[in-house]
C-alpha cells in the first residue's frame, strides 16, 4: 500500500512511497519531508506543517 504526502492547499503530490526498498532511507516522516522540500510546496508555495489527525486519510483497495 503506497503512502502519499500531498499539499493540503493545492493537492500536489509532494512524495509517494510505493514499496519497501524504494530508496535507502525508507519512508520519511512529515518533518523530514518538510525539511527536504524547504518547508514549502513546490507547486503553490504553501508552507508545510505537521499534519493534523483529521487530515490523515486511509484508503483500502
| CA distances from residue 59 to 2, 12, 20 in whole angstroms, order as listed | 10, 18, 19
What is the pLDDT at residue 1?
Answer: 78
With respect to residue 17, please indicate whether it lies within any of the assigned structural domains.
Answer: yes
Range of the domain at 26: 3-48
With respect to residue 59, please indicate whether it lies within any of the assigned structural domains.
Answer: no
C-alpha cell at 15: 512524495
With respect to residue 7, please indicate whether it lies within any of the assigned structural domains.
Answer: yes
Tens digits of pLDDT across the chain (61 residues): 788 999 999 999 999 988 877 777 788 899 999 999 999 999 999 999 888 898 888 888 7
With respect to residue 38, please indicate whether it lies within any of the assigned structural domains.
Answer: yes
What number of other Cβ atoms are within 10 A of residue 1's Cβ?
A: 9
What is the pLDDT at residue 5?
Answer: 93
Specify the number of domains making up the chain: 1
What is the pLDDT at residue 20?
Answer: 78
Task: Kindly report the pTM of this predicted structure.
Answer: 0.80
With respect to residue 40, please indicate whether it lies within any of the assigned structural domains.
Answer: yes
With respect to residue 15, please indicate whether it lies within any of the assigned structural domains.
Answer: yes
Which residues 6+ apart lie within 8 Å of 19 measured at CB? 2
H or E segment at 15? strand 13-17
Amino acid at each position: 500500500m503506497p503512502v502519499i504526502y500531498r499539499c493540503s492547499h493545492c493537492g500536489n503530490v509532494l512524495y509517494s512511497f510505493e514499496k519497501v526498498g524504494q530508496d535507502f532511507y525508507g519512508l520519511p516522516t512529515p518533518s523530514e519531508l518538510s525539511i527536504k522540500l524547504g518547508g514549502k510546496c513546490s507547486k503553490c508555495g504553501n508552507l508545510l506543517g505537521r499534519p493534523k489527525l483529521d487530515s490523515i486519510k486511509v484508503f483500502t483497495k
